[in-house]
Structure 1
Amino acid sequence: MSDSFVHLHVHSSYSTLDSTIRTKELCARAAELDMPAVALTDHGNLFGSIEFYQNAHKAGIKPILGCEIFLAPANIQDKKEVPGRKNSTHLTLLAKNETGYKNLVKLVSVGHLDGEWLGEPRVDRELLGEYSEGLICLSGCTNGAVAEWFHLNDLDAARAEVEQLANLFGKDDFYLELNDQRLEIQQTINNTLKEFSQELGLKLVATNDVHFLNKDDHEAHDVLICIGEGRLLLDENRKSYPADHYFKTPEEMRSLFADFPGACDNTLEIAEKCNVELVLDPTSSEKYPQFDSPDGTPREEYFHKICFDGLEKRYGKRELDYLCEMHECNEADIRKTLDDRLDYEIKTINDLGFASYFLITADFIQWGRDNDIPVGPGRGSAAGSLVAYTMGITDICPIRFGLLFERFLNPERVSPPDVDIDFCQSRRPEVIDYVRQKYGERSVSHIVTYGTLGAKSVIRDVARVMGISYGDADMLAKMIEAKPGVKLKSEYDEKAELREVIENSSTWQDLWNYALKLEGLNRNTGVHAAGVVIGDRPLDEHCALTRGNEGEVVTQCDMGAITELGLLKMDFLGLKNMTVIQDAENHIRKHTPDFDINTVPLDDEPTLALLNRGETMGVFQLESGGMVETCKKYGISKIEDIIDLLALYRPGAMDFIDQMIEVKKGIKPVKYEHPLLEEICGDTYGVMIYQEQVQNAAKMLAGYTLGGADILRRAMGKKKPEEMAKQREIFVEGAKATNNIAAPLANQIFDKIAGFAGYGFNKSHSACYGHISYWTAYLKANHPVEFLCGLLSNELTNTDKIGIFISECNRMEIEMLPPDINRSQLKFAPEKTPSGKLAIRYGLAAIKNVGEGAMATAIADRDANGPYESLEDFSNRLDSKSVNKRILENLVKAGALDWASEPRASMYGRVEQVVASASSAQRDRAQGQVSLFDTMDFAGASPAQDNGTMVAEIEEWTKDEKLANEKELLGCYTSGHPLDKYRGVIDSDRFEKIGLMDDLDTKNKRARYPFAGMIRHVEHKTTRAGKYFGVLHIEDFTGSCEVVCWQESYVPARDAGLLMSGSVIRFKANVQVDDRTETLRLTGSEIKELKVRKAAKDGAVQIGLWLSRHSEQDLEKIRKILVEHPGETSVEIHFQSGSGKRATIEAGETLRVKKSPALTKALAEWGV
């Protein structure tokens, strides 16, 4: 036999927090040691099987697919302890062939779906007998099924276990597994197994139960175990593996088992037996469920009919006229273009075998629409397909927006179609349930995903087990960039400050070295947020299954592995904005029944004006501070501008925004290297911002097919030198042949296109999301009350977000009516005020800590039996278990029972007795008893007369107490504002409004704007250099914000006692856009107390003037206005200089005026 060796018992990081091995490194090490094969046997799962299989083949070695299963002591349905036995033991299984792998998949799936107990996916001996074909069984490690009996000192039972397993798998495929990590009991087990081998005619096999790759990984592995166990390294009682559990060389293994002839040779024998060949073909549709047409016609014929029927529905006269005008051609030409493209797409899809994919997708989308579930207009490259548009999969016309089918499905580089669908976030599960019912419970599954030890988190995890304080660990972790994909090594290489910290401390060096070895390892499994697999048969015939935290079935293959297996996967995404739009539509249809957001004009002037003013709070993807500024500068005149901005507002591409604005406004001309480039990117002002433009450039300039152009686009995006050189040659030759472009110019154009391709965006996706942006803007501009009701109703549990949207209501002068148990709906709803103006009534489910279910019950009873008439009536009519004391107290505090004409404090004080009385009465009724009080009517009684609930008179809450309760429970104030008594000084002194900060100049770093507001909370902090600073959470009448105050401003204000919750202050602030968060950042200074000015005499008219803003001519005009409105009311004028100095004077007897709306309006026009 050879001197080589094959490791047959190996764990990877898919044995979560139990191994430091990555499958790629494992296979590379096995190849380095000239091993012909290697096995992967993770604990109870096949999570890493596909990745391992591919990495082994890339390394040139044979993959042996296996699993260390958990074996129950009895039947897996007996989920209870067996006296004297472990809850499970280990057994090593290896797949010999495809049958064996399928049986291994079945065993692992059953363990996870049916046998899981106390976190272990167990199987039993009956299942082993049923699925033993094609499997090799090793008797297990020191925690194995056979070894258990050695721990119990029962050799007869151990022998019986061996015999039973040998009978289940057959003597040729059952091996006695030897382990030696220097444990005393292993010597006993190994020597006894050697005797069993001779007695029973069974073969021995040597393994090493590998958990880390190299010997010097042992300490890092110890750290990993501590992370998983939540223990400290210094804990003497922690779990730890011997240092020998590493991937030993053949020489080391043969030396270790020299006394066991054949044990190492048998690893090679087993490797020869194991020959699993997986069929990995992501382009195949063989495993897709086949969609049967409802009328029995052949699938392809039905597919063709559905598409052309949809074409007729999509393109009526209005749509055809628009395309004719757009392309400057007649209707016959447009119809031919549509027919030809649809025929081409249908043929391509049929040739590739993907017709079922489209039919399945269209079916569940239509089911969603039929059941009033909001569906997005499209997402990703699918919008480039006319087939998808005619079938109702997308709602964006690819012809109008110049979208390409080949960007979605390229016949020259076949990959499976990938349609992502946005559904209403809350009702998305209903669509998945429909798919599950249609195709079978076990044929539809969610997809696993993995949480890993990321760069920042691994620093904190390692620090914790090393006993390093949280503050020190946080200091180091914060030095790591907070961005996706960041790596510790690159951070170390690029940051001198980080290197200095690490190099100056042996503790930090140890931490860093551990973290480097553990970074990226799997920490836990989860469920992919959107991915769903639909199989042609039960999925455990294709891949192993497990369960998510909520019991849902989940594949043990991640997204990448699912694709490699050729299984049909879909992304069912939840998009809250679609629900917002639908909620708004439903409100609008109460007064405009035929309203449909899909039919609104795409050139609505109020919508475009709103965007150009930057009033985009709540508008999809246009809310950030940077995007607000961009909207105001860009001059949006059509929906295409929105689509362009969504594509541009990304790193790299953002650099071209100012250039495009200059060209758009005629400030700067564009120079094109070739006239065809103007045709390709003239609409985007000379900038090639879309991937589709790259494809069109290759087609028009160099004669590429669109499929070939997509390959070019991908090559340019990846920037692989060999592929780029190949494509450059094709492009230059094609440019010469197609347009007689000389090589130097062709190369210049190629380089320019390649530069654009690096950041080019998918226009199909931008077009889809541009429509959602436009729709939300349209609703806000034309139906603001209904739209804001939709926004608020989709943030019911987020009082912070509710507060922000209510600030927007205030800015738009939309009245927010307080919650009212007799008038409110479950969610926010429009309500007409006595003046006939639409206001918003606060939704009951948005009150903190009352519960949507309880409020739904209360509303149902109110609608069925009439309004509630008192606190007692409300409590008596509802089950006290669903509307309990805490809920009733919160309703009172929120003002939802103010209609009862009883002070809130009084009601609050009576709640406990009222609930107790109602509960007692409900119990009596349930037992068939009727008390004297049940026959009496207390609905209209006053509190003093109510049955058994009389209490001593309670002093009413102060205004501030009421407001504090409202803010806590509603996220806003409804009965007033804590700043009401400061309103006069705030208005007259011209403070900037927090809710209107978007209008300020954020580019001027020297500008200091005056603000005033109330402090809700202060975060007192210290910099790494030991300097004090604070983050002030401030609010005024229009909104709230955070203000950073550095030491020079913070310390004096803190020491003066100004920085307390509830303090009302005035301050100056610089306002800038934070590049990282794209939100406005305020830096405060000159913090002072805001004082209430002495009341003006006889209700005087007060005028505030800024000397830096108002000229002498302004003052003269204001004097004339006062003269034109004579009366008996005095006038006070408050002057403020640019330096902040103030003075107040009385205008005198000659300038008394008459208060009137006309006077107020005239003064307002002059900004006073």
Structure 2
Amino acid sequence: GDDFYLSVQRGENKQQEPYEQQLIHLSNETNTPLVATNDVQYIEKEDAFVQHCLLAIKQGAVIKTGMATDGERYLTSPEEMKKRFSDLPEAVENSRKIADQCHLHISLDTLKLPKYPVPEKENADHYLRHLCLKGLYERVSSPSDAYIKRLEYELDVIQQMDFSDYFLIVWDFMNFARKKGIVTGPGRGSAAGSLVAYTLYITDIDPIQYGLLFERFLNPERVSMPDIDIDFPDDRREEVIQYVANKYGQQYVAQIITFGTFGAKAALRDIGKVLQIDSKEMENIIKYVPNKHGITIQEAYHQSFAFRQAVQASSLLKQWIAIAMKVEGLPRHTSTHAAGVIISSEPLSQIVPLQQGHGELYLTQYPMDVLERLGLLKMDFLGLRTLTLLEHICRLIQQQTGKTIDVRSIPLDDRKTYELVSKGDTNGIFQLESDGMKQVLKQLKPSQFEDIVAVNALYRPGPIDYIPSYIKRKHGEEKVSYLHPDLAPILAPTYGVLIYQEQIMQIAANIAGFSLGKADLLRRAVAKKKKEILDQQRNEFVQGCIDQGYDEGFANDVYDMIVRFANYGFNRSHAVAYSMLSYQLAYLKAHYPLYFYTALLTSVIGDEEKVSLYIYEARRKQIELLPPSINQSRYSFSVEHEKIRYSLAAIKHVGIAAVKAIVQERKKGPFADFFDFCVRLFGKGINRKTIESLILSGCFDEFGIERASLLASVDVALEHAQLVGPYVEEGLFSDISLKPKYVEAPSLSLEEKLMYEKELLGVYVSPHPTSAYRKVFRLDGVRSVMSVIREKTDFPVKVGVYIVEERKTRTKTGEEMAFFTVSDESGEMDVVAFPDVYRRYSSVLKKGTVRLLEGKVEVRKGKAQLVIRKADVPAMEALYVKIRPEHIASGKLFTLKELLQKYHGKTPVFLYYEQEQKMVKLTEEYDVALTDECIASLKALLGDEHIVVK
């Protein structure tokens, strides 16, 4: 055809010349026209070396300065092309001819909203109204006029803006999620202010009940796309995205690209490596770049004298900086937007360039801001770990108790929940987990849901300054005052403190007579803090107040208050929605702690510090942790006999592939012993390091073989597995007598056991020496080692610890002092006793003993250590059993012996023989675990008055 050409290029690379002659010959022979082209890879000719450096970065290569490069791949002018192809003018003319045929019109800001496939004989507006009315009567049994009017108003606005299809699309994939049992968030952002969204089950927040404003979400006086962001469990989000892709077609749905760019330091490092600048010298220079977010190399050059001086040292360093400055800000790599998905009414390949994404979905090659200019609909499908946690807790409750928990129906006035929150017992609770937030909650003592909403909105830079006033007003310690009584209905729920953006809108509507749409425009305008806008808005607001009958002075005072709070005001719709998640988790923690902690621990596998923190907290609430078991443990933490079983995946050096192999093999039957395990897992990715980690974490303890012996037997077991493993599937070598014997080895000391457990699990699973003192420590105000390390407080603290190690030393003056390593059930820390303290307490501070230590925490080289001021021996809780003659005569002492052995633990037992008035301490083999079941059994045997714990 007329549009088929042969391309010829010319540059410094002479290797092309033989091919060009052949192309010219082919053109003449076939009567195919030539076209002059150039392989444009950069704009300016001088950028050739920069391009060369970028290619070297991509390939991980190095180049030498002054190295020759092909500098002809820049955007040449028409004159240069004519000169370059002076002997082939027709080729240049053909290039112009092709350019003239190219007509591109990119349609901007024209919405390309997809159409929802409504049922036959329906249109989007009618169908949306039908679904909303149906949902309204499901959600609100007898809706008042306020609900009916609000729904009609919202539907009218949505229809006028032509967004009915948008709401139907969101309703559809949310409906899919519900049918599949995928938990969705109660709402996110301003969408929670829409009654339409509530009746469509897109959100779970009743906007009328909570006083939320539709105009904050969709303003009829400011046309913009609705923005409904949806939270899904992070492990099920992909299911919903794939449903949307299947529904509307792969050509119409894509995820969005994001570009990671070269920052100042990254550009310097990458170009430095390419130019072979000494790495030590390079890092010494880069450290002079100020640690300021978004700083450029040029800004660093002007701001840092040391940096400026260093890069002037040689021509190579000058070139390094010059090239890095050209690279800075360019895309370095691509990734997928965390949440955004595009849905189009036209095939996306006709609108945007696409590339293959990670899965089946395409990835746009335009970033989000460009896609919005093209009028494409973006929807955010967000993965929220909190929802995964919530779903997991409810699933555990259902599996273990048969009870189905609908978190949307839990009472919002639950006393137990508010008690938990008021104590600051909020580890693991969304939005309420930080140390600062816990302190606020302890002072505030929330007693209603609105308190949680308010504190979530206030606990941010800026409004945090108003928290003390909010707390005092709630507790009646500070008077609540208003500029005018007419502000009371708006500000009374927050004790006169302006917290929410919606309150600003309500003030503008009620006091200045603005429509809520105009009030939203005011809120947006004053937040920008531009003087001309502020002055213009002030005039309109003050006039509006005067028209409503208020005086000018009051109007200006109210406007000043609005301006002052505009930057701090929080979106109430979002605060209510996310506070609902906080409350739901708090409720589950208060009422179902066993299942809460089990799911919570699973959610933080891989974060050793959090695993340790949550296990310690669970233990303080009398929830027992079972050690990892090769036959019982799963990938996740699990519930077993009302206790938490440690996860296989949470053991260090045991990867996901190993866990999968173990669980899969276990389906064929439990492992009989250590050798059986090694044989059956032969060739399935279980290496020596994994096996040793499983041993030292206690996974094989159930077989009754010492851990030291198992460690010594690893070589024997692996050799045996190599010999027997390949034939196991065929049923050969099943004779038990063929198994090797365990290699004997000295037992691990308690300290060694605990050390390995802490290293591999983050916690101790063997009974820690301090575990017998839990109750004593709790009554004595003892802090955990972990909490002391985390807070690094300068206040006096008391810890109850086991002394693992003692290192004596002498000061320069010859006085003796000591350093100690101590631990409790939560962790390990360093302790120091200076000479005066060590002299006084050296007889008490002995390795292998449990002691109460008091002192202050100091931070040295970023590490917390306790400086002792006092050391003491903790009082030991004991069980006292009164023995009467009839107990002996009836043979009850035999039953008592059996019970003490059944409930073996760490608490010593004393028998008091009433007739002889004699006290006898039983040996350690009769020490008991003081569980409720143990105490109840003993009282049932001998009578309540004969059993005393003190």
TM over 0.5, shorter chain: yes
Indicate how the Cα distance of structure 1 residues 440 and 981 shifts in structure 2: closer, same or farther if over 3 A, else same.
same
Are 1:151 and 2:16 counterparts?
yes
C-alpha distance after superposition, 1:261-306 (max 9, x if no partner): 8999999988766542211126x2xx33322235653332221111
8 Å contact 2:831–2:867 — kept in the other structure? no
- TM-aligned CA deviation for residue 792 of structure 1: 0.8
- Counterpart in 2 of 1:973? 764
C-alpha distance after superposition, 1:668-697 (max 9, x if no partner): 334433333333223223332222222222
Indicate how the Cα distance of structure 1 residues 625 and 725 shifts in structure 2: closer, same or farther if over 3 A, else same.
same
- TM-aligned CA deviation for residue 620 of structure 1: 0.8
Is 267-276 or 822-831 further displaced after alignment?
A: 267-276
8 Å contact 2:262–2:328 — kept in the other structure? yes
Are 1:904 and 2:707 counterparts?
yes
Indicate how the Cα distance of structure 1 residues 161 and 662 shifts in structure 2: closer, same or farther if over 3 A, else same.
farther
Distance in 1 between residues matched to 2:822 and 2:503, nearest whole Å: 47
- TM-aligned CA deviation for residue 421 of structure 1: 1.4
C-alpha distance after superposition, 1:958-1002 (max 9, x if no partner): 333333332333222211448889999999998743344499896
- Alignment counterpart, residue 570 of structure 1, candidates 365, 372, 379: 379
- Alignment counterpart, residue 177 of structure 1, candidates 23, 28, 37: 37
- Counterpart in 1 of 2:928? none
- TM-aligned CA deviation for residue 337 of structure 1: 0.9
- TM-aligned CA deviation for residue 1070 of structure 1: 5.0
- Counterpart in 1 of 2:652? 848
- Counterpart in 2 of 1:801? 610
Aligned AA (2:362): V
Gaps of 5+ in 2: 806-818, 833-850, 881-916, 922-945
- TM-aligned CA deviation for residue 787 of structure 1: 0.4
- Give the TM-score normalised by structure 2: 0.78
Indicate how the Cα distance of structure 1 residues 429 and 1096 shifts in structure 2: closer, same or farther if over 3 A, else same.
closer
- Counterpart in 2 of 1:291? 116
- TM-aligned CA deviation for residue 579 of structure 1: 1.2
Distance in 1 between residues matched to 2:333 and 2:803, nearest whole Å: 41
Distance in 2 between residues matched to 1:428 and 1:404, nearest whole Å: 28
8 Å contact 2:35–2:91 — kept in the other structure? no
- Alignment counterpart, residue 452 of structure 2, candidates 633, 642, 650: 642
Secondary structure at 2:218 match in 1: coil
Are 1:559 and 2:368 counterparts?
yes
Distance in 2 between residues matched to 1:1034 and 1:241, nearest whole Å: 65
- Counterpart in 1 of 2:931? none
Indicate how the Cα distance of structure 1 residues 890 and 408 shifts in structure 2: closer, same or farther if over 3 A, else same.
same
Are 1:676 and 2:486 counterparts?
yes
- TM-aligned CA deviation for residue 465 of structure 1: 4.9
Counterparts of residues 397-416 of structure 1 (less than 5 Å): 397-416=206-225
Aligned AA (1:843): S
- Alignment counterpart, residue 894 of structure 1, candidates 697, 703, 707: 697
- Counterpart in 2 of 1:309? 134
Counterparts of residues 793-832 of structure 1 (less than 5 Å): 793-832=602-641
- Alignment counterpart, residue 788 of structure 1, candidates 564, 579, 597: 597
- Alignment counterpart, residue 233 of structure 2, candidates 414, 421, 424: 424
- Alignment counterpart, residue 745 of structure 2, candidates 908, 929, 954: 954
- Counterpart in 1 of 2:840? none
Distance in 1 between residues matched to 2:781 and 2:189, nearest whole Å: 47
- Counterpart in 2 of 1:188? none
Counterparts of residues 68-79 of structure 1 (less than 5 Å): none
- Give the TM-score normalised by structure 1: 0.64
- TM-aligned CA deviation for residue 560 of structure 1: 1.2
Counterparts of residues 1071-1110 of structure 1 (less than 5 Å): 1084=864
Distance in 2 between residues matched to 1:620 and 1:296, nearest whole Å: 46
Indicate how the Cα distance of structure 1 residues 891 and 419 shifts in structure 2: closer, same or farther if over 3 A, else same.
same
Distance in 2 between residues matched to 1:930 and 1:908, nearest whole Å: 28
Secondary structure at 2:699 match in 1: coil
C-alpha distance after superposition, 1:727-770 (max 9, x if no partner): 33322222222x22344433332232122112222222221111
Aligned AA (1:154): Y
Aligned AA (2:684): K
Indicate how the Cα distance of structure 1 residues 884 and 226 shifts in structure 2: closer, same or farther if over 3 A, else same.
closer
Counterparts of residues 1154-1165 of structure 1 (less than 5 Å): 1160=950
Aligned AA (2:204): D
8 Å contact 1:829–1:843 — kept in the other structure? yes
Distance in 2 between residues matched to 1:1098 and 1:736, nearest whole Å: 75
Indicate how the Cα distance of structure 1 residues 866 and 246 shifts in structure 2: closer, same or farther if over 3 A, else same.
closer
- Alignment counterpart, residue 277 of structure 1, candidates 102, 105, 108: 105
C-alpha distance after superposition, 1:332-374 (max 9, x if no partner): xx52111111112122222222222222222222222222222
C-alpha distance after superposition, 1:680-716 (max 9, x if no partner): 2232233322222222222222222222222222222
8 Å contact 1:648–1:654 — kept in the other structure? yes
Counterparts of residues 355-754 of structure 1 (less than 5 Å): 355-462=164-271, 464-465=273-274, 467=277, 469-470=279-280, 473=283, 476-477=286-287, 480-481=290-291, 483=293, 485=294, 498-499=304-305, 501-503=307-309, 506-507=312-313, 510=318, 517-548=326-357, 553-589=362-398, 590-591=400-401, 593-737=403-547, 739-754=548-563
Distance in 2 between residues matched to 1:1015 and 1:307, nearest whole Å: 67
C-alpha distance after superposition, 1:1109-1150 (max 9, x if no partner): xxxxxxxxxxxxxxxxx99799xxxxxxxxxxxxxxxxxxxx
Distance in 1 between residues matched to 2:615 and 2:416, nearest whole Å: 22
Secondary structure at 1:682 match in 2: helix
- TM-aligned CA deviation for residue 601 of structure 1: 1.3
Gaps of 5+ in 1: 1-128, 180-207, 317-330, 833-837, 939-944, 1018-1031, 1046-1063, 1073-1079, 1102-1125, 1131-1155, 1161-1168
Secondary structure at 1:356 match in 2: helix
Aligned AA (2:529): K
Distance in 2 between residues matched to 1:301 and 1:817, nearest whole Å: 58
8 Å contact 1:583–1:790 — kept in the other structure? yes
Aligned AA (2:558): I
Distance in 1 between residues matched to 2:661 and 2:536, nearest whole Å: 69
Distance in 2 between residues matched to 1:826 and 1:1097, nearest whole Å: 38
Indicate how the Cα distance of structure 1 residues 681 and 476 shifts in structure 2: closer, same or farther if over 3 A, else same.
farther
Indicate how the Cα distance of structure 1 residues 762 and 1033 shifts in structure 2: closer, same or farther if over 3 A, else same.
farther
8 Å contact 2:829–2:865 — kept in the other structure? no
- Alignment counterpart, residue 871 of structure 1, candidates 653, 664, 674: 674
8 Å contact 2:856–2:868 — kept in the other structure? no
C-alpha distance after superposition, 1:191-248 (max 9, x if no partner): xxxxxxxxxxxxxxxxx864459x6x78877765665554567x24868564x87789
C-alpha distance after superposition, 1:359-397 (max 9, x if no partner): 222222222222222222121221111111111111111
8 Å contact 1:1099–1:1129 — kept in the other structure? no
Aligned AA (1:625): D
C-alpha distance after superposition, 1:993-1041 (max 9, x if no partner): 3344499896xxx645466879999xxxxxxxxxxxxxx9998425359
Is 878-887 or 784-793 further displaced after alignment?
A: 878-887
Distance in 1 between residues matched to 2:471 and 2:29, nearest whole Å: 79
8 Å contact 1:819–1:896 — kept in the other structure? yes
Distance in 2 between residues matched to 1:543 and 1:164, nearest whole Å: 39
Indicate how the Cα distance of structure 1 residues 501 and 537 shifts in structure 2: closer, same or farther if over 3 A, else same.
closer
8 Å contact 1:226–1:238 — kept in the other structure? no
8 Å contact 2:268–2:286 — kept in the other structure? yes
C-alpha distance after superposition, 1:1063-1089 (max 9, x if no partner): x998955589xxxxxxx9987567589
Identity across matched positions, percent: 35
Indicate how the Cα distance of structure 1 residues 356 and 894 shifts in structure 2: closer, same or farther if over 3 A, else same.
same
Calculate the aligned-residue CA RMSD, in Å.
4.8
8 Å contact 1:799–1:971 — kept in the other structure? yes
8 Å contact 2:831–2:868 — kept in the other structure? no
- TM-aligned CA deviation for residue 528 of structure 1: 0.9
Distance in 1 between residues matched to 2:7 and 2:539, nearest whole Å: 57
